[in-house]
Structure 1
Amino acid sequence: MTFINPSSIAKYIPSKQFQEYVPDWIVGGLLLAFFFLVAEHALPFQRQFSLDDLTISHPFAVHERVTGIQCILLASLIPFFTIIIVMLVRYRNGAFTSQYQALHYLQVSILGLLISLSLNGVITDILKVWIARPRPDFLERCGPKPGTPMHTLVDISVCTGPLGESVLIDGLRSTPSGHSSISFSGLLYLTLWLLGQFKLLQPRSSSRYIYNYLVVFSPLLLATYVALSRTQDYRHHFADIILGSFLGITFAWWSYHHYFNTLVSEDSDKPISDEGSTESLLPR
């Protein structure tokens, strides 16, 4: 029998263990709403540029290797479903004292993922509109008017926007790379979570098989591919993906360690609030 069922959830939600996380769920939901409804549509600062700047003269790629929607789905759904599957397997193998403990560990794990992704998304978009660096393909998005001077600084008013106004405006959102930050904030969180759940970094870890580490670190390879694909599509400069990756790594690391014990701890698979006690997880 699985621990994810209406009866178990109905008994767990009123418990003190769940209620203490409600404020974090609210914050995560608000951040996610702000990201999709406000930050993603904010207008960037109209930074000046030069028509003879070769760094923004690359062609516009009509078909991206990883689209924005695909990036968000990869960074969120892969960790989400992996966490659920691992928790179900561990529950069936007797890793938890009760179904309520399993539910508690699951909700804390998903909450950490939500905070990592939503906080990273908001901060990344805020930096994008403040920095407003032109993308490598900006001049093709711009389509400057005939007669625009070459050897001087101009602004977006000289652009005809042949690909559309939204594509033109998005051309000033290069730094940092959102694909890089989002992919690392979700997929690195998954790697850290797997390391903690299987206790692979403990000094006395019983697992010495290299394939365990290859599987656990494989999400980072996917995140790296997503980040580098942005330079292949000429959507970002290398500095953009470095900064974006740093942001994603930072938020994933902080979010994971905010909710779970350190990876070298004997209790690395437990939420910090649950350290030392399992009986208290049972609802009264």
Structure 2
Amino acid sequence: MPDIQLGTHTVRSHGIQIARTHMHDWLILMLLVVIEVVLNVIEPFHRFVGKDMLTDLSYPLKDNTVPTWAVPIVAILLPLAIILVYYFIRRNVYDMHHAILGLMFSVLITGVITDAIKDGVGRPRPDFFWRCFPDGKGVFDPVTSDVMCTGVKSVIKEGHKMLPKWTYFLVICRGHVAKLCIVFLPLLVAALVAVSRVDDYWHHWQDVFAGALIGLTVATFCYLQFFPPPYDIDGWGPHAYFQMLSESRNGVQSSNNIECLNVQQSELESVYVDSQHGTETSRVTIWDTRPMLDGA
């Protein structure tokens, strides 16, 4: 581990500086939030659903086993709590800041991708029939034979959205079975949530599988934007922290060189003044400052 001084880079000492440096990242996050809101407000594409196609879309309309409000708690609030607890242990604002950025980017990018696909494809859910005809009586267009839904508009709208979200912050450990179990725990929770969506007839298994691939890919990509690979020797900390250490070392070396050069120059001036007063007329001193400027 490099020369790390834990507790010296806190929110109070470096928080504002880091936030200003990554202001563009937070602006992009806000833009993703706006896009996500728009994608959930607009009407999805209503794919043609004929009478003969309802055989596989007539599963019972059930409530979710895992409520919708519980998903952001598991995917966002719980990881945030873990990140904050870890910050109070390590007192490293770089680690906390970039962990939060990675988490939020993975959640929002996955959300935008999956919701855009949902709205664009408009594939009906397995329980679409009962969303469209809550009374069980199908009504179809006499010309096209397309469904003419009589249910609640918001319920029907949700019935045209397929492809679930799988979002999690991906971390891979090596050589520590206990840590590996901790890493796989959120993956297990995500898998159980996805299975419950299939059991509740809200999704087909193909959509769950596609959502898992999207979530895994986006989470891995976002993680590697802010942190080295977990198997790297510096995998414990974010890129920005090691960049700060490198810049600090270079700054110290430069300041030391400048101080040495100032001392050399002051000695030259002293010799010159002495020679003017006749106290040291025979002393000639030549200082070579090039090694100091070169960092030698």
The two structures have a TM-score, normalised by structure 2, of 0.73
| Correspondence 1:112-261 to 2 at 5 A | 112-143=102-133, 148=140, 154-156=145-147, 158-161=148-151, 164-174=152-162, 176-178=163-165, 181=166, 185-186=167-168, 189=169, 191-192=170-171, 195=172, 200-201=173-174, 205=175, 207=176, 210-261=177-228
Q: 2:261: which partner in 1?
A: none
Q: 2:61: which partner in 1?
A: 60
CA distance in 2, matches of 1:245, 1:8: 36
CA distance in 2, matches of 1:147, 1:264: 59
Cα offset, 1:41, TM superposition: 1.4
More off after superposition, 261-270 vs 219-228: 261-270
Q: 1:9: which partner in 2?
A: 11
Cα offset, 1:50, TM superposition: 2.4
Q: CA RMSD in A?
A: 2.7
Asked if the contact 1:60–1:141 (Cα under 8 Å) also holds between the matched residues in 2, the reply is yes
Q: 1:29: which partner in 2?
A: 30
CA distance in 2, matches of 1:261, 1:239: 32
Q: 1:29-76, CA deviations, whole angstroms, 9 ceiling, x for partnerless residues?
A: 2212331x3111121111101223321110100x21112221122111
Q: Does 1:110 align with 2:100?
A: yes
CA distance in 1, matches of 2:230, 2:45: 41
CA distance in 1, matches of 2:19, 2:188: 34
Asked if the contact 2:226–2:239 (Cα under 8 Å) also holds between the matched residues in 1, the reply is yes
Asked if the contact 1:48–1:155 (Cα under 8 Å) also holds between the matched residues in 2, the reply is yes
Stretches of structure 2 lacking an aligned partner (at least 5 in a row): 1-5, 250-296
Q: 2:76: which partner in 1?
A: 76
Cα offset, 1:21, TM superposition: 1.6
User: Which of these two proteins has the greater Rg computed from alpha carbons?
Assistant: 2
Q: 1:39: which partner in 2?
A: 39
Query: Which AA in structure 1 matches 2:200?
Result: D
Indicate how the Cα distance of structure 1 residues 127 and 154 shifts in structure 2: closer, same or farther if over 3 A, else same: farther
Asked if the contact 1:64–1:233 (Cα under 8 Å) also holds between the matched residues in 2, the reply is yes
Q: 2:281: which partner in 1?
A: none
Corresponding residue SS for 1:44? coil
Determine which structure has greater relative contact order: mean sequence separation of CA pairs < 8 Å that are 6+ residues apart, divided by chain length: 1
Asked if the contact 1:141–1:167 (Cα under 8 Å) also holds between the matched residues in 2, the reply is yes
Stretches of structure 1 lacking an aligned partner (at least 5 in a row): 92-98
Q: 1:148-179, CA deviations, whole angstroms, 9 ceiling, x for partnerless residues?
A: 389x96434x1111xx11001111101x113x
Asked if the contact 1:134–1:171 (Cα under 8 Å) also holds between the matched residues in 2, the reply is yes
CA distance in 1, matches of 2:208, 2:197: 8
Divergent runs of 4+, >6 A:
none
CA distance in 1, matches of 2:128, 2:22: 44
Give the number of aligned pairs. 241
Aligned residues: percent identity?
27
Q: 1:96: which partner in 2?
A: none
Corresponding residue SS for 1:46? coil
More off after superposition, 227-236 vs 72-81: 72-81
Query: Which AA in structure 2 matches 1:70?
Result: A
